[in-house]
Amino acid sequence: MADNKGVMAYCEVADGKLAAIGAELLGGGRKLADDLGEELVAVLVGSGVSGLVQEAIALGAEKVYVVDDELLKEYQADSYVAAMEKVAMQAMPRIIMLGQTNVGRDLAPRLAFRLGTAASLDCLELAIDADSKALLQTKPVYGGNAYAVFTTEYYPQVVTARVKSMQPLERDDSRKGEVINVDAGLDASAIRTRVVEKVVEEVEGIKLEDASIIVSGGRGIGGADGFKQLEELAKILKAAVGASRPPCDNAWVPAGLQVGLTGKIVSPDLYIAIAISGSSQHMSGCSGSKNIVAINKDPEANIVKQARFAVIGDWKKIIPAFTEKIKELMAG
Amino acid sequence: MNMIVCVKQVIDPEAPPATFKIDTSTNQVVPPAGMSPVIDPYGEYAVEAALKIKDAVGGKITAISLGTNQLRDVVKKPLSMGADELVLLEDEAYDGGDSFSTAFALAAVIKKIGEYDLILCGREASDWNAGQVGSGIAEILGLPSITLVKKIDVADGKARIERLTSDGYEVIEVSLPAVVTVSNEIGEPRYPTIKGIMGAKKKDPTVWTPADVGLDPAQIGAAGRKTKMLKLFQPAHEGQVEIIEGESPEESAANLASKLREAKIF
Ligand SMILES: Cc1cc2nc3c(=O)[nH]c(=O)nc-3n(C[C@H](O)[C@H](O)[C@H](O)COP(=O)(O)OP(=O)(O)OC[C@H]3O[C@@H](n4cnc5c(N)ncnc54)[C@H](O)[C@@H]3O)c2cc1C
């Protein structure tokens, strides 16, 4: 245990680029490493990822472990867990941080179990206990109704951090760092899954994660037709359209629009929640918004309590008038 | 096709957030009065996924549930939906576990059951939102795992599986046996039929203690934990809502737009 040192950030690569979560982990990891007085290392796993080393260093890593192999072209648990296990055994880090993405959700628990421990997923806050140097892992439980602080005496301590929960550092290309290439040593026959197709479901207009305004609808919208009205409002506001889970489950909107614990995590300047009750699982995805506006017929709905502004009533009456007034104000 | 589904009993996650309470002296959640527990929603989606496979190619579904104070009416739901067998791990020794000790116990039970082509779990349970048990079982049993699954087709000892990605999904082929964790995109769980409910009533679950499964109590439940919970608390929601009024809904709507403009929010 005493042998485990340093903070390791697994930096996901998407479309040949460092995914935003990597920069966030390096930012958050930098602070943990400084508090420990230990080093921050980045890990890049994939095929043709060596070119990203300098960027990881510019974002705060002192060392970058690279596992570059043709067999790692696509994320698959078998190959990536094996690669990360090798890196972890060589580097013996105290902490391994991953992102709470669809890759991190898959990789972190398998890696943790492989290393003989369990992970904490979806951490909102990570801090070092000054006395024990243990990693304090704060994560939502009960759908966000409560938070729990976990720690573990088994090393490495494996966690995923929620997207946007940590601040990246200012990129500084004058930073210097060391590169360590690790041979994946993979045997194709040990990869028991095969990705036969990747389907991208294009979403028209602005992406949810990038939007500064989101117009979001819930079960009370009642159908795909209702969402047309939300789309119209979104277009005027240059906003993205989002949803709670029921509209996605009912295929009124694509599944990719789901906001929440098991959907997208968003933090726009303005989140307009229309006919959404504000379950803890939904709020987990949007409570980071600067301003929440609730439009709901039920004054007791949880979303109303958590909003900055609310209008109580039937959205079918409210949204057309709201849209008209917005148009007028924007023209003026 | 022999399928095993892991599904547990939880406090109803759809209960209004205002009813959620914690006893801070014991670091435990106080079940809301007068509300029955339910089977974990993602576990229920996993049962549905198994039933879809059974509909398509036939097979046997065994549900396993680990916990204490399991209400028979609740944990029998998989049976009433169409599962064939129910195994309950009911013993105080299983209590207070984390993902590690729970996956460990479940893996041992799965080994004891012996015959399996597909093991299905929910993507994450609604109580601890840990999201690890399925992956853990796969590691312990040395099986491939595919998480966040929205569709499963099986044929010729292989499965063709759709897995959610950040911008869509990927189609993955895997040879069986394998472990999958199921997401809600699989489709709404079916309602139990009257016949299903009657059948479930008559069916006695198999109850296994740690000794029955050959488990050492030191490895399961609270004793087998790798993680320690230091604190459990309810986050404070600061902020005061301003209700925007008007003579009519239309006027309130216009007032809201003006208010947002004044506050320079758009
Ligand atoms: C483990 C787990 C993970 C989950 N993850 C997510 C997640 O990521 N995202 C998510 O959203 N959910 C998630 N859920 C589901 C969640 O628990 C709720 O079921 C869901 O968020 C409810 O969606 P809703 O608010 O649209 O529907 P409801 O709770 O049914 O609320 C509908 C609201 O619409 C209002 N309304 C109805 N008609 C009108 C009208 N005409 N005008 C104005 N208002 C009207 C009602 O007053 C009500 O407040 C998850 C659940 C579990 C167990």
Determine if residue A272 is left, alpha or beta; phi over 0 gives left, psi from -120 to 50 gives alpha, anything else beta: beta
CB of A191 closer than 8 Å to CB of A172: no
Query: Which residues from chain A sit within 8 angstroms of residue B168, using beta carbons?
Result: 198-201, 256
Sequence-ordered alpha helix ranges (H) in B36-183: 41-57, 72-75, 77-81, 99-113, 133-141
Determine if residue A148 is left, alpha or beta; phi over 0 gives left, psi from -120 to 50 gives alpha, anything else beta: beta
Sequence-ordered alpha helix ranges (H) in chain B: 41-57, 72-75, 77-81, 99-113, 133-141, 194-202, 210-213, 249-262
Domain A7-190 has what CATH class? alpha beta
Q: Is residue B237 part of a domain?
A: no
> B184 C-alpha to center of ligand 1: Å?
14
With b for 16 or more beta-carbon neighbours within 10 A and e for fewer, the A244-268 pattern comes to bbbbbbeebbbbbbbbbbbbbbbbb
> A66 — contact with chain B (CB < 8 Å)?
no
CATH of residue B7? 3.40.50.620
Distance of CA A149 to the CA centre of its chain: 19
Instruction: Give start-end residues of each CATH 3.40.50.1220 domain in chain A.
Output: 208-331
pLDDT in tens, B23-75: 988 999 999 988 999 999 999 999 999 999 999 999 999 999 999 999 999 99
> A119 — contact with chain B (CB < 8 Å)?
yes
With b for 16 or more beta-carbon neighbours within 10 A and e for fewer, the A84-104 pattern comes to bebbbeebebbbbbbbbbbbb
Which residue is associated with the tokens 């939880």?
B10
- Tell me what pLDDT residue A2 has: 57
- Tell me what pLDDT residue A3 has: 87
Average pLDDT, chain B: 96
Tell if the pTM clears 0.80, that is, is over it: yes
Which residue is associated with the tokens 């549900």?
B63
Q: Is residue B187 part of a domain?
A: yes
- The secondary structure of residue B26, as a DSSP letter, is T
* Token output for A129: 């206990």
Q: Is residue B262 part of a domain?
A: no
pLDDT of A1 strictly over 80:
no
CATH superfamily label, A208-331:
TPP-binding domain (3.40.50.1220)
Ligand 1 mutation target, pool A162, A221, A276, A315, most atoms within 8 A of CB: A276
- Tell me what pLDDT residue A42 has: 98
> What is the count of structural domains for chain B?
1
pLDDT in tens, B101-139: 999 999 999 999 999 999 999 999 999 999 999 999 999
Q: Is residue B238 part of a domain?
A: no
The Cα B266–Cα B247 span in angstroms is: 24
Domain, as residue range, for B202: 2-224
Q: Is residue B259 part of a domain?
A: no
The Cα A221–Cα B188 span in angstroms is: 19
* Token output for A328: 């007028």
Instruction: Give start-end residues of each CATH 3.40.50.620 domain in chain A.
Output: 7-190
- For residue A326, give Cα distances in angstroms to A210, B242, B255: 22, 19, 10
Q: Is residue B94 part of a domain?
A: yes
Ligand 1 mutation target, pool A229, A262, A281, most atoms within 8 A of CB: A281
Query: Which residues from chain B sit within 8 angstroms of residue A325, using beta carbons?
Result: 253-254, 257-258
